[in-house]
């Protein structure tokens, strides 16, 4: 469990690193699709470019850790998608105890990244946990406001999670609070990836 947390925290900091770096001695890349869920992660999606992917199963020698794909719209949206099972039997949907417990763990990891990894300051929830729908896909989600320490920029960061075909599908998305189009670009990207 501790290894998974470390791997996921490490991925947060690699989201905007170009994919070329991954081919020059970085972590092993994930395939552009996930066989068991049927999800596809193309080079371009909803105006965002795939910058990096990571095969945590190969990296850590533990298949429970799964994969991640990282997308970027420069100066606007940073999105990370994780698909893994964590060694659990994951039911579909958002309204079950397994997904609810994983969501709470993922929230704790965001606060851990804020304090221990010095990623955010002034991190606080914006509203309650809700259900975000994109086409046929529904996610348990919550948005937070924060200041990104590296850029000193006020951002919104959204955590989204669902159980899908025996896997957790988690999204972490950051965008500037003062952006007039940030929320629309987030919607466009998520719909491009999850309205298949």
pLDDT digits (tens, 9 = 90+) for 130-145: 999 988 899 999 999 9
pLDDT digits (tens, 9 = 90+) for 13-61: 333 333 433 446 799 999 999 999 999 999 999 999 999 999 999 999 9
Count other C-beta atoms under 10 Å from residue 88's C-beta. Answer: 16
pLDDT digits (tens, 9 = 90+) for 58-100: 999 999 999 999 999 999 999 999 999 999 999 999 999 999 9
The Cα-based distances of 97 to 88, 91, 162, 169, 172 in angstroms read: 12, 9, 12, 15, 21
**Which pLDDT band holds residue 2 (cuts at 50, 70, 90)?**
very low
Q: Assign a CATH topology to domain 2-194.
A: Protein Transport Mog1p; Chain A (3.40.1000)
- pLDDT given for residue 196 in this prediction: 59
Q: What string of H, E and C letters represents the secondary structure of 11-80?
A: HHHCCCCCHHHHCCCCCCCCCCEECCCCEECCCEECCEEEEEEEEHHHHHCCHHHCEEEEEEECCCEEEE
């Amino acid at each position: 469990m501790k290894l998974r947390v470390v791997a996921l925290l490490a991925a947060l900091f690699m989201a905007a690193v170009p994919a070329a770096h991954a081919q020059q001695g970085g972590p092993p890349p994930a395939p552009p699709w996930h066989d068991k869920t049927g999800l596809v992660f193309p080079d371009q999606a909803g105006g965002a470019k795939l910058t990096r992917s990571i095969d945590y199963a190969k990296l850590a020698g533990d298949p429970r850790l799964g994969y991640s794909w990282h997308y970027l719209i420069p100066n606007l949206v940073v999105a990370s998608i994780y698909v893994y099972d964590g060694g659990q039997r994951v039911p579909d949907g958002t309204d079950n105890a397994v997904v609810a417990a994983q969501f709470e763990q993922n929230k704790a990891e965001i606060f851990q990244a804020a304090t221990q990894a010095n990623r955010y300051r002034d991190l606080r929830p914006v509203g309650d946990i809700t259900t975000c729908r994109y086409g046929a896909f529904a996610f348990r989600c919550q948005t937070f406001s924060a200041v990104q320490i590296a850029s000193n920029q006020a951002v919104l960061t959204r955590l989204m999670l669902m159980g899908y075909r025996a896997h957790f599908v988690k999204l972490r998305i950051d965008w500037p609070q003062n952006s007039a189009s940030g929320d629309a670009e987030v919607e466009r990207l998520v719909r491009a990836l999850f309205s298949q």
